[in-house]
Structure 1
Amino acid sequence: MKERLTRLKTIRKLIKTYRIESQEALLGYLSREGFAVTQATLSRDLKLLKVGKISDGHNGYVYTLPGDEERQESEQSVVQDFLRGYISIEYSGNMVVVKTYSGHSDVVAGAIDSMNLEEVLGTISGRDNCVFICLRQGVSGEDFLDTLKLKIPELDE
């Protein structure tokens, strides 16, 4: 029983660490970790762990643990909120101003806050169409924009 618990823990770790697309790939990782497991046993383990498959956003599917899918959907929602509301981004030193469509400043500020960017000290939503972002000491607007583009590749700034 102890080996099974250790194996289940290892499966969780592997799914969180690697982009695993198939049981064959997962069996390979498990083998490298020292587990000799049949495909049938792995299937039972995946069912017990409630592992699912979700789109990788390109042209394939990857294994995911319960809760990961909701987290990914939430992250996508935050990105969509930002993209729907912003018009432009300008910066000077460690201050950034995001111009938004009328009525979208709260949503865009909330999206930035939800991204938990280490560079951001805080946001202030304007009355209607502007978000002020104060960056941490030593972080430039360009640094912020580079990080934001990593989170939101669709950003066209």
Structure 2
Amino acid sequence: MKKEIRLNLISHLVSQHEIKTQEELCNILQQNGMSVTQATVSRDIRELKLVKVPAKNGHQKYDYSTSHEQSVKKKLQNRLKDALIKMEPIHYFVLIKTLPGHAHSFGSLLDALEFKGKVGTICGNDTCLVICSSPDGAEAFHKLLESYLDE
């Protein structure tokens, strides 16, 4: 579980900050209560398929390769087909019911997916709640997830 939490935190940090080095990422993780070594961060970077890309200031920063989003979409598509029980939009939310023990993997994949209007996820054992910024955003996100079932 700790690794999954760390990987989610790294994904969030990389999307919110311009992280230039593994040492910088180690320091930020430690500031967030994660005791890690540079070797662990290096393995996490490989597992998340992070690459160095040009930053706004001309330096390099860690970010996802363009193939990462396709990989996340494929994993999510497979997860939807294998473990989804039902899914429905409710006001600002999309409620996803899964087989027991699968909600966190849905949440992790959904958090990695960039979608305008998706604010975040809250997951239990068999329920994942996707929080959107508007009811229309929830409806659009629900339709996006349904389209993955049709592919």
Question: TM-score per shorter chain, which class?
Answer: 0.3 to 0.5
Q: TM-score scaled by structure 2?
A: 0.48
Q: TM-score scaled by structure 1?
A: 0.46
Which structure's residues are more often helix, by fraction? 2
Where relative contact order (Cα < 8 A, 6+ residues apart) is larger, the structure is: 2
Larger radius of gyration: 1
